[in-house]
Structure 1
Amino acid sequence: MVEDNLSPHVGVRFTVPKLNRIQSKLYPVAFGTDEPVLLCAPTGAGKTNVTLPTVLNEMLKWRNKATGTFAMDSFKIIYIAPMKALVQEMVGNFTSRLSILGIKVGELTGDSQMTKAQIAETQIIVTTLEKWDVVTRKSTDTSYTNLIRLIVIDEIHLLHDDCGPVPESVIARTVCRMEQTGDYVRLVGLSATLPNYEDVATFLRVDTKKGLFYFDAPYQPCDLQQQFIGITEKKAIKWYQVTNTVCYKKVLDYAGKNQTLVFIHSRKETAKTAKYLRDTAMEKETITQFVKPEGATREILTEEANNVKDPNLRDLFSFGFAIHHAGYRERTEC
């Protein structure tokens, strides 16, 4: 049980009933110190919730013990997400959890602007990398950037992505500003597992003995099994055919029982593989194992397929197949 009497309202307490293994290990540093933090953990391991203790830790500094109220105009917290969809999700998340404390959360993206008045009355600003890069690079109004005390960068492993220069610039600019002004800004990086996590920690000015946390496969939220299948074909075309045949057999084993994710090595092959699975299922008359023709699911998928703009996805959707790759991400200007 984690319980902190932070609420400005008498008799109301902010309660989180249980922390998982990863959150429990981070809590003493996230809430009890101002150390920069880099957390590397598998997808679904609860990284995002680690943000809350760091937010509460910062808020506690601005709390009047006598009245229980906060100096809301004295601090700003920035949460940087890689996609606009995630920005909207986090705005709702923070609002539902922190509004009881009087905290206001704002969304700042290319599609959602904030006026100076809105920024002034907002304590947590959720934004995208590209938008925050523009704000910090071009802004002449430092009335609120000088109040920033905590910056959380979600999915910081995108340093290795095509958009890598953007988070790199944002972090370097923040560190440079700290050195020039002497005003400390706590940096918190959230990432999937990284091979060079120590290098990223150094870049974030994280003390590897205090603020670096790395959790690998044993901390997966669900147990994973590995099975290796050897393919001896040398010629590319035959290798591709055998690979697809094996993939179809494996996917069919779970058809109608569980959802299945197939990871492909390129964007182009993503659609090709999905169409192969669909076409093979139709040829072998096993397509009904994926989506029953008389069920409501097929009717819903067929109806929703009409709203899909991508031709490949529209062609597959009604049969219970879908595709996704980085080209579908709702990024801003990257």
Structure 2
Amino acid sequence: MARLDISAHVWRIFSVYCRYFNAVQSETFELAYHTTKNMVVAAPTGSGKTGILELAIIGLLSKQLDVNNQLQLKHGAQKVLYIAPSKALIQERVKDWGSKFGSVGLMCMEISGDTDESQLAGVNAADIICTTPEKFIALVLIDEVHLLNEDRGAVLEAGVVSRIRLISKAPEMREMPIGKVRFVAVSATIPNIWDIGEWLQVPPDGLKSFGEEMRPVKLTTIVKGYNETKTDFLFEKRLNDHIFGVVKEYSKGKPTLIFCSSRKGTSDTAMHLLGQCQKISGGSSPSPYVRTAQQFERLKNAATQTNNKQLQQCLCAGIGFHHAAMDPQERLLIEQLFINTDVLVLCTTSTLAVGVNLPAHLVVLKGTRRWTSDNKEGSGYKEYDRSTCLQMVGRAGRPQFDTEGVAVIMTQKKVACQYNNLVRGAEVVESQLHDYLAEYLNAELSLRTLKDISMAIDWLKSTFLYIRVSHCSASASDEVFTRVLREKFILTTVSELSKYNLVSLAEDGFGLEPQLAGDFMARHYLRFHTMVSICKSPQHASMPDLLSVIATSVECASIKLRRSEKKV
């Protein structure tokens, strides 16, 4: 691994954290730092992809060095936009980059759904904006670009990338930074990296794909499929019968993280492991996870610092559990015990996969489904998002803590193949925009970036959906394919929007004009079916009717009344 040619002025950003670049970073250094070419890099979790994004930032920064090699910053003149799939990743990046790049005077800012109007006043002066795809531009950094495969992927695809590309093509924008905007995207290993490269207009030498052999720490991933039960709840309980054996077989006595699907599941799993430990030891020793008398004393002392009776029992056996509803001091206590390897088995929820960096030799996904209200089919159990699953698996064998790692995914037999494909990088990334086409077409019309059918077709051609559809229709002529785009995607969607007076189609069948209801829908980020329900409401609708529209909307599906609230 080499420390490559990089300005001494900006090398200190890296030198505090690492002395050398790893193989993946060395291979991509020339493109990331010395050029302005678009890039897509697919590499395993934990292989240093964040370092590639940092090289791109420093490359942009180096253009602002004067003849004396001093930075001449004008805050906010050229913005870096970092996009990640979750708020926790955003917060982690703001904390890290705020420290790293703050040392050379760059301002790093988080924008999320919690950002209020007063905080947005700092956007103009910010140099690096870290945001989820729901929210702005010389450089756009996209982390976990494989999130295109998820429902949220449509936001990244149409709400961010395609919109930026559409704006950048405007004549008045050509001399602005956005007119020469650069995209750098990183991803887990995927088979159709070329599709993403074509979508982001990446030149051939800007595409880099690395296999597991380039991972700094060797990771072995095992997918175990189990017979289904009548309900997901019973399936999760049945996995308790196997969890002790899995930890025993793969942990080698090293730190283990067990990801559970619910907060209650963390304590239930920890208590089940405690019961198994007591059965095995027969009372002759505290637990197989307690190796020395000194460790046992530290655990007993830690147990006195919590009022949670279950946690007290588990800690004395070298087992812990951790979730967001716990007292912050308790969570901090558990995290420190795990880092110090006093607690060897920690049961936690998927939220720990991002944010807190806890070292683990073994990671176990105890089930791959969790209860959610944010579901197109309504509330219920659904599979983990792909990015969440990869984040959890990636916690095994982190470079700074271990030389090898193991991840075990415990799931139902019917989906075991799907997870094998995911961890082997064999799952094709597909667009999800077709399910949200009405919302995003209406938004572009409301913003007046589209004015007619031909512009709408050009906009569609800037999406990842177009790339995937065109590859599936490779035998069709350009004329036939354009007609399909116009009739099947654009005209069908415009017809649905105009049916409820959200947009209007000119008499010539060519021009498009947003309507008041469509502007309202776009301004308040309403789903199409919710807006249809509003439009169908009678002019003098009763309060129960209006409440029914709100309560049955997909936007409110995740809001659940607690038993105590129902009495109000």
TM class, shorter-length: 0.7 to 0.9
Give the aligned partner of residue 91 of structure 1.
94
User: Matches of 1:291 and 1:248 in 2, distance apart?
Assistant: 15
Is residue 349 of structure 2 the alignment partner of residue 324 of structure 1? Answer: yes
Q: Measured at CA, do residues 175 and 275 of structure 1 come closer, stay the same or move farther in structure 2, by a change above 3 Å? A: farther
| Residues in 1 aligned to 2:109 and 2:193: alpha-carbon distance in whole angstroms | 31
Question: Gapped runs of 5+ residues in structure 2?
Answer: 309-321, 338-342, 356-387, 389-554, 559-568
SS of the equivalent of 1:39 reads strand
Q: With CA pairs under 8 Å and 6+ residues apart, which has the higher RCO, 1 or 2?
A: 1
* Whole-Å separation in 2 of the counterparts to 1:217 and 1:188: 21
Q: 1:173 and 2:173 equivalent? A: no
**Does 1:104 pair with 2:104?**
no
Matched residue type, 1:260? T
Alpha-carbon distance in 2 for matches of 1:158, 1:235: 28
1:54 offset after TM fit, Å? 0.5
* CA–CA distance in structure 2, aligned partners of residues 54 and 201 of structure 1: 17
8 Å Cα contact 2:258/2:348 also seen in 1:
no
Match of 1:46 in 2: 48
Give the share of equivalent positions with the same residue, in percent: 26
Structure 2 distance, partners of 1:67, 1:28, is 20
Which of 200, 203, 212 pairs up with 2:199? 203
Q: Aligned pair 1:126/2:126, yes or no?
A: no
Instruction: Find the counterpart in structure 2 of residue 28 from structure 1.
Output: 30
Task: Quote how far apart the aligned CAs of 1:275 are.
Answer: 6.1
Q: Deviations over 1:126-185 (max 9, x none)?
A: 22222x2xxx5xxxxxxxxxxx10011112221122322221231221222222333021
Contact 2:257 2:347 in 1 (8 A): no
Alignment partner, residue 434 of structure 2? none
The whole-number CA distance in structure 2 between the counterparts of 1:173 and 1:76 is 16
- The letter of the residue matching 1:176 is L
Residues 289, 47 of structure 1: alpha-carbon distance in 2 compared, 3 angstrom cutoff: same
Name 1:149's counterpart in structure 2.
138
| Structure 2 CA distance for partners of 1:327 and 1:196, relative to 1, 3 Å | farther
Shift of 1:201: 2.2
Q: 2:61 aligns with which of 56, 59, 62?
A: 59
Aligned to 2:181: 185
Q: How many angstroms does 1:310 deviate by?
A: 5.2
Deviation at 1:281, TM superposition (A): 3.4
**Distance in 2 of aligned mates of 1:270 and 1:203:** 41
Q: CA deviation at 1:120?
A: 2.8
Compared CA separation, residues 4 and 247, structure 1 to 2 (3 A): same
What is the CA-CA distance between 1:25 and the residue it aligns to? 0.5
Distance change >3 Å, CA 280–CA 36, structure 1 → 2: same
Deviates more, 1:281-290 or 1:15-24: 281-290
Aligned length: 307
Distance change (3 Å), C-alpha of 1:305 and 1:53: farther
CA distance 1:88–1:227, change in 2 (3 Å): closer
Q: Give me the whole-angstrom Cα distance separating, in 2, the residues matched to 1:200 and 1:72.
A: 33
- CA contact under 8 A between 2:257 and 2:348: conserved in structure 1? no
Q: Which string of whole-angstrom CA distances, capped at 9 and with x for unpartnered residues, describes residues 67-106 of structure 1?
A: 7332424211111222333222222322322233222222
In the alignment, structure 1 residue 220 sits paired with structure 2 residue 224: no
User: Which of 229, 239, 252 does residue 248 from structure 2 map onto?
Assistant: 252
Give the match's secondary structure for 2:191: coil
Show the 5 A alignment for 1:288-307. Answer: 288-290=287-289, 294-297=296-299, 300=302, 303=305, 306=308
Structure 1 residue 125, shift from structure 2 partner: 1.6
Please identify, of 272-281 and 181-190, the stretch whose mean Cα deviation from structure 2 is larger.
272-281
Where 2:83 maps in the other structure, the secondary structure is: strand
Aligned match of 1:160: 149
Whether the 8 Å CA contact 1:2–1:15 is kept in 2: the answer is: no
User: Could you tell me how far apart the structure 2 residues matched to 1:305 and 1:157 are?
Assistant: 42
1:280 aligns with 276
Matched letter for residue 166 of structure 1: V
Q: 1:176 to 1:270 in 2, by over 3 A?
A: farther
Normalised by the length of structure 1, the TM-score is: 0.73
Cα 1:308–1:269 change in 2 (3 A) is closer
In structure 2, relative to structure 1, the CA distance for the partners of 1:274 and 1:39 (3 Å cut) is farther
The 3 A distance-change label for structure 1 pair 327 and 160 is farther
Q: Is the 8 A contact 1:39 1:191 kept in 2?
A: yes
Shift of 1:303: 4.7
1:209-250 residue CA offsets vs partner (Å, 9 max, x unmatched):
21111112112222234678898xx7869x999976554323
User: 1:287-332: per-residue Cα shift (whole Å, max 9, x none)?
Assistant: 7123579442365468568495659xx9xx899441323799799x
Residues 301/215 of structure 1: CA separation in 2 closer, same or farther (3 Å cut): farther
Deviates further, 247-256 or 302-311: 302-311
| Partners of 1:254 and 1:260 within 8 A in 2 | no
3-state SS of the aligned residue for 2:80?
strand
Contact 1:6/1:14 (<8 A) preserved:
no
Secondary structure of residue in 1 paired with 2:139: strand
1:291–1:165 distance in 2 versus 1, CA, 3 Å: farther
Q: 1:68 to 1:235 in 2, by over 3 A?
A: closer
- Partner residue, 2:474: none
Looking at structure 2, the residues matched to 28 and 59 of structure 1 have their Cα atoms a distance apart, in angstroms, of 15
Unaligned runs of 5+ in 1: 137-147
Within 2, Cα distance between the matches of 1:65 and 1:217? 42
Moved more, 104-113 or 164-173: 104-113
Change (3 A) 1:241 1:15: closer
CA displacement 1:242-300 (0-9 Å, x = unmatched): 97655432312466821234578x77997676665454334444771235794423654
Q: Which amino acid aligns with 1:325?
A: S
| TM-score of the pair, normalised by structure 2 | 0.46
Per-residue deviation, 1:108: 2.1
